[in-house]
Amino acid sequence: MLRALVTSLLFSALPAFAASFDCRVTGIANGDTFSCLDASGEHVRVKLAEIDTPELQQPYGSQARQAIASYIFGKTVTLTAKGRDDAGRTLARVRAGDSEINSELVRTGNAWANRGHLDDRALLNLEAVARELGRGLWSLPKADQLPPWEWREQQRRSR
């Protein structure tokens, strides 16, 4: 009985996470996180799903932040929500006009495909091409191309 109730609750929440909605981007926190206002004026914090960009303290972190800002800051974007992360941010695929921003950031070398949370395997191909062509962060010396999840783990261990 309890199992059926939990399953029912989980599936009833899925449409909310699969829903698409528009919002106007009001702030950029870093290369993969931003704030926006939805149609009702509610503040929404968004983390781009399936990708990860360098942290601001990492090499290329500020460039990744500038890249996303150039695509979406001040614009109305369409979010396709995929859930929430541990920080309560909406995980989403983001579209601005004809551009799918998650893919575009990987294609231009501003982000990694997030292997731990990846549904769209095409992101791996986009990353491989960006790496091969030396785009964005892939133009840095090899030692500076540390994936952000590894960098965060190093930071945790050094505390």
The model's confidence at residue 40, banded by pLDDT at 50, 70 and 90, is very high
| Mean of all residue pLDDT scores within the chain | 91
The model's confidence at residue 19, banded by pLDDT at 50, 70 and 90, is confident
Residue 62 CA to residue 79 CA, distance in Å, equals 23
pLDDT at 18: 60
Q: What is the pLDDT of residues 132-152, one digit of tens each?
A: 999 999 999 999 999 999 999
Mean pLDDT of 100-106: 98
The model's confidence at residue 15, banded by pLDDT at 50, 70 and 90, is very low
Residue 38 CA to residue 78 CA, distance in Å, equals 10
Share of the chain above pLDDT 90, in %: 86
Which 3 state secondary structure label does DSSP give 80? Answer: strand
Q: What is the pLDDT of residues 48-65, one digit of tens each?
A: 999 999 999 999 999 999
Residue 58 burial (CB < 10 Å; 0-12/13-18/19+)? Answer: buried
Domains, the chain, with CATH or none: 20-158 (2.40.50.90)
The model's confidence at residue 116, banded by pLDDT at 50, 70 and 90, is confident
Is the pLDDT at 38 greater than 80? The verdict is yes
pLDDT at 9: 41
Cα angle value 26/29/30 (rounded, 5°): 130
